[in-house]
Structure 1
Amino acid sequence: MQGLLRAGLAPLRRHVLHPPRRAFAARTPFVPPSQQMQSDGPKLWPVEEDLNYEEEEDSEEEVDEEGTPVPQRKPPPASPSFYSGRAAYYDQLAQVESAVVHTRSALKMLQLLPLPDFAREALPTRPAVWKNAKEMGLDLQVTMTSSRYRAMTRLLGQLNEYHRIASAAGCEDLALRTSNLLNIFESPAKTAALTRGRRKTLYTDHLGRSYTFGKRKTSTARVWMVPVALPSEEMEVVDLEKIASLDEAAALLTSQPDRFHEPQRVPTSSILINNIPIGEYFAAPADRERVIRPIKVAGLLGAYNVFSLVRGGGSTGQSGALAHGISKGLLVHNPDLADLFRRTKLLRRDPRMVERKKPGLAKARKAYAWVKR
Structure 2
Amino acid sequence: MNHLLRFRPSVFTACRRSFATQQNFVPPKSLEAIDPSSSHELAKPVTPTFYTGRSSYYESMGALERAVQHSRQMLTTLNIFPLPPFALEALPPLIPVWKSKEKLNSALDTKLSATRYRRMLALLNELNHFRRIAKSAGHDDVGSVIQDILDFFERDDKEEHLKRGRKKPVKFDEYGRSYTLGRRKESSARVWMIASHNPPNDAQRNSPPPTSQILINNVPLNKYFPLPGDRERILAPFKVTGTVGAYNVFTLVRGGGSTGQSGAIAHGIATGLAGHAPDLESILRRAKLTRRDPRMVERKKTNRAKARKGYGWVKR
Same fold (TM over 0.5): yes
Larger radius of gyration: 1
**Residue equivalent to 1:314:** 257
Deviation at 1:139, TM superposition (A): 2.2
Q: Secondary structure at the match of 1:81?
A: helix
The structure whose residues are more often helix, as a share, is 2
**Residue equivalent to 1:228:** 196
Deviation at 1:354, TM superposition (A): 0.5
1:22 corresponds to which letter in structure 2?
T
1:140–1:304 distance in 2 versus 1, CA, 3 Å: same
Encode CA deviations 1:187-243: one digit per residue, 9 max, x unaligned.
Answer: 345446656667777697764434444322122223221122259xxxxxxxxxxxx
**Residue equivalent to 2:55:** 87
Aligned residue among 66, 88, 111 for 2:77: 111
**Residue equivalent to 2:9:** 12
1:307–1:147 distance in 2 versus 1, CA, 3 Å: same
Question: For 2:238 and 2:125, how far apart are their aligned partners in 1?
Answer: 48
Q: Secondary structure at the match of 2:310?
A: coil
**Residue equivalent to 2:32:** none
Contact 1:219 1:313 survives alignment (8 Å): yes
Q: Secondary structure at the match of 2:191?
A: strand
1:182–1:6 distance in 2 versus 1, CA, 3 Å: same
Deviation at 1:137, TM superposition (A): 1.8
Question: For 2:83 and 2:134, how far apart are their aligned partners in 1?
Answer: 16
**Residue equivalent to 1:181:** 149
Encode CA deviations 1:162-184: one digit per residue, 9 max, x unaligned.
Answer: 43455456655543332122112
Residue 354 (structure 1) aligned with residue 300 (structure 2): no
1:155–1:342 distance in 2 versus 1, CA, 3 Å: closer
**Residue equivalent to 1:28:** none
Question: For 1:268 and 1:320, how far apart are their aligned partners in 2?
Answer: 23
Deviation at 1:364, TM superposition (A): 0.6
Aligned residue among 53, 65, 74 for 2:26: 65
Contact 1:112 1:165 survives alignment (8 Å): no
**Residue equivalent to 2:109:** 141
Question: For 1:336 and 1:175, how far apart are their aligned partners in 2?
Answer: 35
1:160–1:304 distance in 2 versus 1, CA, 3 Å: closer
1:320–1:169 distance in 2 versus 1, CA, 3 Å: closer
The sequence identity of aligned pairs, in percent, is 45
Q: Secondary structure at the match of 2:253?
A: strand
**Residue equivalent to 1:22:** 21
Number of paired residues?
Answer: 293
1:117–1:283 distance in 2 versus 1, CA, 3 Å: closer
Deviation at 1:65, TM superposition (A): 2.6
1:183–1:359 distance in 2 versus 1, CA, 3 Å: farther
Residue 214 (structure 1) aligned with residue 182 (structure 2): yes
Encode CA deviations 1:298-335: one digit per residue, 9 max, x unaligned.
Answer: 67554421112324323321111112322444454495
Deviation at 1:74, TM superposition (A): 4.6
Residue 363 (structure 1) aligned with residue 302 (structure 2): no
Question: For 2:26 and 2:148, how far apart are their aligned partners in 1?
Answer: 58
Question: For 2:129 and 2:256, how far apart are their aligned partners in 1?
Answer: 48
Encode CA deviations 1:48-85: one digit per residue, 9 max, x unaligned.
Answer: xxxxxxxxxxxxxxx8739xxxx965544555433322
Q: Secondary structure at the match of 2:193?
A: strand
Normalising by structure 2, report the TM-score: 0.68
Question: For 1:162 and 1:207, how far apart are their aligned partners in 2?
Answer: 47
129-138 or 144-153, which deviates more? 129-138
Q: Secondary structure at the match of 1:185?
A: coil
Encode CA deviations 1:344-367: one digit per residue, 9 max, x unaligned.
Answer: x65564443201222332431133
Q: Secondary structure at the match of 1:176?
A: helix
1:116–1:75 distance in 2 versus 1, CA, 3 Å: closer
Matches within 5 A, 1:274-289: 274-278=217-221, 281-282=224-225, 287-288=230-231
Structure 1 gap ranges (5+): 25-62, 232-264
Question: For 1:114 and 1:335, how far apart are their aligned partners in 2?
Answer: 33
